[in-house]
Structure 1
């Protein structure tokens, strides 16, 4: 697929300097590299290296002739790593898992119920064709977490990465919140995160390496009307992340968080459809309004969050810890 895509692209040559330039391909986005004379041009994706060999351009046409190519596999640094995704049946959990499967990770999706997990796992296997398994646990009950973690390890080996991507939003005026509902969200998110860390971090510390990433919304980094409960809980998760990062730093385990802006996802598309149906406004105008808070005037692609997740969990990342990385087009800058 990669070689077919590349060979269908337009290749041009700068006749004066006899340099060949590759026009970027949307699916692999390589850097542009000049090649002088009869040399090879390297294109790298995470799984593959395509080497194209060209002749020197002719004076008449200024174009090169493709002599041949070869294709070889190149493993990514994360290839073979085992990642546990808490909240694996949710939208952000799915996109987190997809980003890691895409670079060769073996992924265990964790959630309370099995129905959404099966759907997410099937979709991942169909889209990326990676190693995916599912485990279930109620994060408010430590015993079920330990069983789920043991099951995940039995399937894919020791844990290298833990991603916490749960969502349990609570919105409403501060003086009209249902205390029971707020308490439930705190148990699910805050207490649940603490239980998950207690079940997974000790083994990482003993191994001397590991990466933990909390994938959160912008309420983790700001305050806004009608989000008192959400802000309280997500700010608590950020505090937990920073404390954990300091506590396990000496062991070689790094802990970080991502604060994601408004994501251009299937769920948002449904919400836009609902707004259009109720207001009869133009769909593009609704999208523009939603993106207005972003200085780049756009929504964030889930793949952009995934790329930051790949970077944060790369084995080479050992110094960046205790940080919240905002992926929001500068909205919180």
Structure 2
């Protein structure tokens, strides 16, 4: 499948799932802009995979407006928009302060909203577009120990479904990908939190996440990337408003 001439923008594109999607779309011919807050991380990823880096903080409206506008100036309208940047952290609700809640929502919900809004402004100038939000299995069910995160990921799925309804009959589709635990840098961070909270060993803490996936292994970022690529296929235009699980058998 050739995506030559298509401009993709991926938030949180310097590492993990975002980078896997960026490299996969680039290999399919797309011109890809990756965004994030850490210039050094973006620059390394861009140099290795032939991507365009753009420092952008999805929590900051001005940063998103300016970042997307710069990407459009460089490469033309965004036709593949992938809001991927997010925070994944669990905390009991009675231990959740307002700052934690607002930071989670500012990144996962506001960041998704702002990214899609700004990309749509240029996408409207074209006759084809894909919006692919990276949500989570927590966007479809309650994730034990992570009510704030769960709420934010449900919000992302709701936004995608509403946009799909708004644009029915138009040449744009809106879908969410909902992975379970993926083998990214977030895993060791969560391992440390589990160890600190429970006193488990490192291996025991990791097995908490591995065991939560029904097929008993972490999901590879490339599995998510290939799903995003599939959603960009010209023959995937009837897949719209969906929350696609990549969860090893989760129902």
Question: What is the TM-score of this pair, normalised by structure 2?
Answer: 0.87
> Which of 5, 22, 26 is matched with 1:97 structurally?
22
Change (3 A) 1:303 1:90: closer
> Which of 47, 54, 62 is matched with 1:135 structurally?
54
Aligned to 2:77: 158
Gaps of 5+ in 2: none
Larger RCO (CA under 8 A, 6+ residues apart): 2
For the residue of structure 1 that corresponds to 2:150, the secondary structure is helix
Change (3 A) 1:224 1:286: closer
Q: Is the 1:149–1:200 contact (alpha carbons within 8 Å) kept by the matching residues of 2?
A: yes
Gaps of 5+ in 1: 1-75
Greater Rg, structure 1 or structure 2? Answer: 1
Q: Is the 1:218–1:259 contact (alpha carbons within 8 Å) kept by the matching residues of 2?
A: yes
> Which of 139, 146, 152 is matched with 1:220 structurally?
139
Change (3 A) 1:325 1:171: same
For the residue of structure 2 that corresponds to 1:198, the secondary structure is helix
Q: How many residues align?
A: 248
The structure with the greater share of residues assigned to helix is 2
Q: Distance in 2 between matches of 1:182 and 1:196?
A: 20
Deviation at 1:266, TM superposition (A): 5.0
Change (3 A) 1:107 1:247: same
Q: Distance in 2 between matches of 1:143 and 1:270?
A: 29
For the residue of structure 2 that corresponds to 1:250, the secondary structure is coil
Q: Is the 1:212–1:254 contact (alpha carbons within 8 Å) kept by the matching residues of 2?
A: yes
Change (3 A) 1:223 1:163: same
Matches within 5 A, 1:61-210: 76-122=1-47, 125=48, 129-130=49-50, 132-210=51-129
The structure with the greater share of residues assigned to strand is 1
Change (3 A) 1:273 1:111: closer
For the residue of structure 2 that corresponds to 1:107, the secondary structure is strand
Pairwise CA RMSD: 2.6
Change (3 A) 1:134 1:239: same
Q: Is the 1:78–1:315 contact (alpha carbons within 8 Å) kept by the matching residues of 2?
A: no
Q: Is the 1:296–1:329 contact (alpha carbons within 8 Å) kept by the matching residues of 2?
A: yes
Question: What is the TM-score of this pair, normalised by structure 1?
Answer: 0.67
Deviation at 1:279, TM superposition (A): 5.1
